[in-house]
Structure 1
Amino acid sequence: MITKEFQNISLSGLGMGNMRLPIIQGGSDGDIDLERGTEIIDKAMSEGINYYDTAYIYHGGKSEEFLREVLVKRYPRDSFYIADKFFIHANPDYKAVFEEQLTRLGTDHIDFYLIHSVTDNTAETYIKSGCIEYFEEQKRLGRIKYLGFSSHSSPEKLKEFAAYRDWDFAQIQLNYFDWLYGSAKAEYEALREKNIPIIVMEPVRGGRLASLTPEAEEMLKSACPENTTASWAFRFLMRLEGIKVILSGMSDNEQMRDNLNTFSANNALTDDEEKLLFKACEIFRSAVRVPCTACRYCCGGCPAEINIPEVLALYNRYKIDGEWALEDMDKLDTKGKPKDCISCAACESHCPQGIAISKIMEELAEKTSR
């Protein structure tokens, strides 16, 4: 496991995200499969992963409790680092949330604490709420070791928020797709200018970059037959200075094994490999229409109870593979279907990617009602 120095500690280059843990068959998002989840955490610990990321809202609030049972209770507290977050839209009472998180986690401190999902619309709300000063006080008391933020904002707003205080670190969505076609490069450069250490989320874009279009995949396989498509995404990030941890939401042993192999050494892409990856990405982009990362921020307030990320994933398949993919609509794990959408746009107000979900639902409703 490659490691990176952060202040006076050493962090594993690969971090374990706990937003996409395995679910009991037929269960809801909060029904984490404890047995399979424990196997994944045990494997991670045995292979040197020491950074574990969670949040107040992950798995309906059960992700933190899961880490208490499988990590905090079973391993020495100084053998790992926990990252947790305050999301003002989930509960604006930051004092109560922080105390509840300590209880859920079963610990007296949180190592890496983040202001969660700063956007152009929420940045000022966070600043005016007083939460940052409160968490600074918790840091002085030793209940928080390092204070940072995660951002889904524009590069301009990111710069403003980064200048508000001397942050210990920041977390951004960073991958080669968003580097080429989004604002990831500008966000990365803004943090580098202020010398703020970077934690990477969505390095494989919610798994979307683990499987490209056939033509794009063939290009990569021809160059490196032994490497998975996902490994190219991680190796691209290894080229970038200032990155301390790359998070991956590993939900099965196969993903864990592949990632551990990738991070066994610093095997950054060569210049020629990066050029090839960018060419494959250009081909892939022409087929992709929806940049959903399956963060599930859109789901909580949907009156039709549509599993929006699953529907959007099917939409991407439809755009790539054709209308036959829509035959799987009835197989989706969702109570509501696109035809049930009332175009209230509640989902769109919470979408970090700014996806026009209502229009997509309308298109899918038309296609599947024929």
Structure 2
Amino acid sequence: MICNDFLGDKVGRLGFGAMRLPVIDGDQANIDQSQLDQMVDAAFEAGINYFDTAYPYHGNTSEQALGKSLARYPRNSFYLATKYPGHQILSTYDPAVIFEEQLQKCGVEYFDFYLLHNVCENSIDIYTDEKWGIVDYFIEQKRLGRIRHLGFSSHGRPDNLAAFLDYGARKYVELVKCDSKTAALFVGRNVMEFCQIQLNYLDWTLQRASEKCAMLESAGIPVVAMEPLRGGRLVDWQDEQLNVVQADRSNRSPIEWSFRWLQNIANVKVVLSGMSNLNQVHENCGYFAEAAALTQAETAMLADVAETLKGGVPCTACRYCTASCPQQIDIPVMLATYNDLQFASNFTISMQMDAVPEGQRARDCIDCRACSRICPQLINIPEVLSELAGALETMPSWAEMCRQREEAAKKARLRD
């Protein structure tokens, strides 16, 4: 297993994600512990030592199942990461209650890597609200040694990421002034020591991951890559994608192309894969047995593959349209969301769209067509906004997803 120095720890480049574990009879809250144990054993044997879970995964059962499996190994032989669910829409937020529950469920006394889960447009105000004291609480847990490294994950857009990085830098300055000893525990000039983002060759442009990576590298913050296969949607290429790579003689699978592409990004310290069976563990570990980054020509070829996977409209985000919109709709954001939806529906879309103010959503377009008249790409913007609004109506809202997750958490507590 190729390894990286990740905040002073020697960490395997491939990480074990516990979001898509094997389950019994299709019940996401009923994890197949025996099969999970076999997968964890194979992961250890191949050199994986970074294991990532989160409070809501598998109906709040992932932490417990993974903790039980890891308990068979010495605590200093693995790095465990989990997350605080401040991204969920709740009536109140109590980080202490959740954190203590997580330690108990995982059966550990500390977490090596702890993340604020999905700092995005819908949750940044929760994480930065002094009323809840979320960041301050976890800074204190780091001081106490119960968290070794504090970071965050994000599915937000680049401006959202920039805003939270700025917040973390300000918190660091405050910490230096009032508690220099605790401040010295943080690597860099930010209380957020690392960041986990959705990163793959498609989202490099589709979700502007290239901008996020550049921003994080400039800030000196290492990256954990999630969704390297876009939830499995980059696994099966069709003729259009195969035709792009037909001149290549390596016979690499789409999975291998995805993982090799990530090896080109030096600031990516861990690539998380949500593996669901033993075969996937063996296969994925094989791709990380030795370094084999892509050549410049191969990277360009994969960028061409990404273009074949995209649909939608050719918006360049010139923003000429926004000045003419009487509803103040952020049209480039809506068109980017529309394009993302053409590839696959995902919870990020609902989450981001729920954060848009009422009156400025796709459904609020009044069809005045001022935007279309000025669009250099000749996009029929009102028509696209209408299609987007219709698609969003068929998707569960982020608020509804959060309600379901909270119900799952209650059931999990009752089982325990």
TM-score (norm 2): 0.69
Alignment of 1:136-215 (within 5 A): 136-165=139-168, 166=190, 167-215=192-240
Q: Distance in 1 between matches of 2:4 and 2:142?
A: 22
Deviation at 1:349, TM superposition (A): 5.2
Deviation at 1:121, TM superposition (A): 2.3
Partner-residue secondary structure (3-state), 1:31? strand
Contact 2:142 2:149 in 1 (8 A): yes
1:4 matched residue in structure 2:
4
Contact 2:158 2:211 in 1 (8 A): yes
> Which one scores higher on RCO, CA 8 angstroms, separation ≥ 6?
2
2:109 matched residue in structure 1:
108
Q: Distance in 2 between matches of 1:160 and 1:184?
A: 16
Q: Distance in 2 between matches of 1:175 and 1:86?
A: 24
1:51 matched residue in structure 2:
50
Alignment of 1:1-370 (within 5 A): 1-24=1-24, 26-71=25-70, 73-88=71-86, 89=88, 92-128=93-129, 129-165=132-168, 166=190, 167-220=192-245, 223-286=248-311, 289-292=342-345, 343=393, 346-348=396-398
Unaligned runs of 5+ in 2: 169-189, 313-340, 352-390, 403-416
Contact 2:19 2:58 in 1 (8 A): yes
Counterpart residue identity of residue 291, structure 1: A
Distance 1:223 1:48, change over 3 A: same
Distance 1:283 1:343, change over 3 A: closer
Contact 1:206 1:293 in 2 (8 A): no
Post-superposition Cα deviations, 1:312-333, rounded to whole Å, max 9, x if no partner, equal xxxxxxxxxxxxxxxxxxxxxx
Contact 2:40 2:69 in 1 (8 A): yes
Partner-residue secondary structure (3-state), 2:29? coil
Partner-residue secondary structure (3-state), 2:113? strand
Contact 1:173 1:203 in 2 (8 A): yes
Post-superposition Cα deviations, 1:14-62, rounded to whole Å, max 9, x if no partner, equal 00000000111x2311111112111111100111100000000000111
Contact 2:13 2:271 in 1 (8 A): yes
Identity %: 38
1:337 matched residue in structure 2:
none
Distance 1:221 1:22, change over 3 A: farther
Deviation at 1:222, TM superposition (A): 5.1
Post-superposition Cα deviations, 1:55-98, rounded to whole Å, max 9, x if no partner, equal 00000111011112111x20000000111000122762211000
**Aligned residue pairs, count:** 308
Q: Distance in 2 between matches of 1:126 and 1:137?
A: 15
Partner-residue secondary structure (3-state), 1:161? helix
Deviation at 1:297, TM superposition (A): 8.9
Q: Distance in 1 between matches of 2:258 and 2:65?
A: 28
Larger radius of gyration: 2
Contact 2:50 2:81 in 1 (8 A): yes
Partner-residue secondary structure (3-state), 1:251? coil
Distance 1:232 1:115, change over 3 A: same
2:338 matched residue in structure 1:
none
RMSD: 2.5
